[in-house]
Amino acid sequence: MSTPRTDGDVVDLLDPELMRDPFRGFSQIRERAPLARAAFPGQTTPVWLVTRYDDVAAVLSDRRFVNDPAGVPGTGASNVREELVRARGIPAEYARYLLDTVLDADGADHIRLRRLVSRAFTARRVTELRPRVERISEDLLDRLPGHARDGVVDLIEHYAYPLPITVICELVGIAEEDRPLWREWGRGLVRMEPGAVTEPLRDMIAFVRDLIVRRRSEPADDLLTGLIRAHDEDGDRLTDTELITMVLTLVLAGHETTAHLIGNGVAALLAHPGQLGALRADPALLPRAVHELMRWCGPVQGTRFRYAAEDVEIGGMTVRRGEPIMAMLVSANYDPRRFDDPERLDITREPDGRRETHLGFGHGLHYCLGAALARQEAEVAFGMLLSRFPRIEPAVAPEDLERQLVPASWRLARLPVRLNT
Ligand code: HEM
């Protein structure tokens, strides 16, 4: 491909060519310099992109970078995310539920939120959920042949999307009959036209507010009840606004990302029959395959912005105090300084299933809270699909797959397959 379009030295993150092949595009950007400049539409402050593996890991674990721009000494820094949210026409009363999340908190505030949510969202809860994830997956697979038209079925619509939204709703405690609403709201939230987001966001907030009232009077064995009850040694609890924000964060962070890991991962396996065959022959490879698919085609390409609390030097370049920076996970995961032959998909690359070396779930204090759940869902989704439909094959060549072009993410619009039952 040609060099990604830049305006002077500024990378256009919405350049369709870069969005269609970010892996190659970012390889060129990464090899030019350790940092690049980028811009989003509707945003006045240019941002830095950090692209090399070691630098990405260093930025994400360096306390000199903060997530809340108000924490920058002096006059603070201009809040790029707030600018982006404002450009989408979201009224301030709703915007705060997107802007004051665990990902936007630093230091003691972040530790407090993370600790309270960790009391409810435990490893045990994730492990115990596995049989349910299997059951949900089995139900969806049962219904898959019924969705086929001329022998072709869209796995994004009928498998990759419904699985994680059902799992996260079940985990949180959202009733089955309300789940289609959440799916629609989730879709509404990625629409970019100004004002399009306001209505779904307002309805989601009202829904969670009501659910909290109901769970207070009728507790259940679910995450929301756990979050309502969670408190630390001093009796500190989440406020109602924090509870609503946390539920929205979990549902929003947890369903589309996982859906697109499943979609991208199945597409990658179908395009690599040798890898697919190896996985079929030895399902014990599943955890390692999930690590490699997260590296090779992870759905999240860049982190939230960080802001330099002081001048910081990276590879001989300086990020000045207050300047925003985004860590490009997609670029780090293809850095030949860290991975041999990074463009090759190799599901045996990671030495064992317990470790991961890719940065697709982030790194440091804000490392993905739902990584264990996402990995579990992906393992179940790949494993059950392949054993249930051993002769499944792609109905469209990999280069013709239609993508949803959303900045800093990597998603398929559709994944048409033949089940060949
Ligand atoms: C944070 C990716 C699934 C909840 C993150 C971050 C990444 C990420 C890259 C760090 C962002 C940053 O540092 O700016 C993913 C991917 C997923 C996934 C690729 C699926 C394949 C989930 C699920 C949940 C979840 C299933 C919840 C059920 C969160 C939360 C944070 C987070 C709450 C913020 C943690 C903090 O700020 O301390 N995720 N995620 N994610 N993720 Fe995930």
| pLDDT one-digit tens code per residue, 197-222 | 899 999 999 999 999 999 999 999 99
Instruction: Output 195 or 106, whichever has higher pLDDT.
Output: 106
> What are the structural domains of the chain?
6-418 (1.10.630.10)
Q: How remote is the CA of residue 273 from the centroid of ligand 1, in Å?
A: 30
Q: How remote is the CA of residue 371 from the centroid of ligand 1, in Å?
A: 7
Q: Is there an atom of ligand 1 within 6 Å of 263 CB? A: no
Q: How remote is the CA of residue 411 from the centroid of ligand 1, in Å?
A: 16
**pLDDT attached to residue 7:** 47
| Alpha carbon nearest to ligand 1 atom 17, residue | 257
Q: How remote is the CA of residue 367 from the centroid of ligand 1, in Å?
A: 7
What value does the mean pLDDT take over residues 332-336?
Answer: 97
Ligand 1 atom showing the smallest separation from residue 113 Cα: 38
Ligand 1 atom showing the smallest separation from residue 299 Cα: 19
Q: How remote is the CA of residue 196 from the centroid of ligand 1, in Å?
A: 24
Mean pLDDT rounded to a whole number for the chain? 91
Ligand 1 atom showing the smallest separation from residue 164 Cα: 26
Look at residue 12 and tell me whether its pLDDT is greater than 50.
yes
Look at residue 77 and tell me whether its pLDDT is greater than 60.
yes
Instruction: Output 2 or 327, whichever has higher pLDDT.
Output: 327
Confidence band, pLDDT 50/70/90 cuts, at residue 41: low
Asked casually if ipTM beats, i.e. exceeds, 0.85, the reply is yes
Q: How remote is the CA of residue 143 from the centroid of ligand 1, in Å?
A: 30
Q: Is there an atom of ligand 1 within 6 Å of 414 CB? A: no
Share of the chain above pLDDT 90, in %: 74
Dist CA 268 CA 410 (whole Å): 13
Look at residue 375 and tell me whether its pLDDT is greater than 80.
yes
Whole-model pTM: value is 0.94
**pLDDT attached to residue 43:** 66
What value does the mean pLDDT take over residues 249-276?
Answer: 95
Pair 323, 308: CB distance under 8 Å: yes
What value does the mean pLDDT take over residues 63-76?
Answer: 91
Lowest-pLDDT range, 41-50, 110-119, 366-375, 386-395? 41-50
Confidence band, pLDDT 50/70/90 cuts, at residue 195: confident
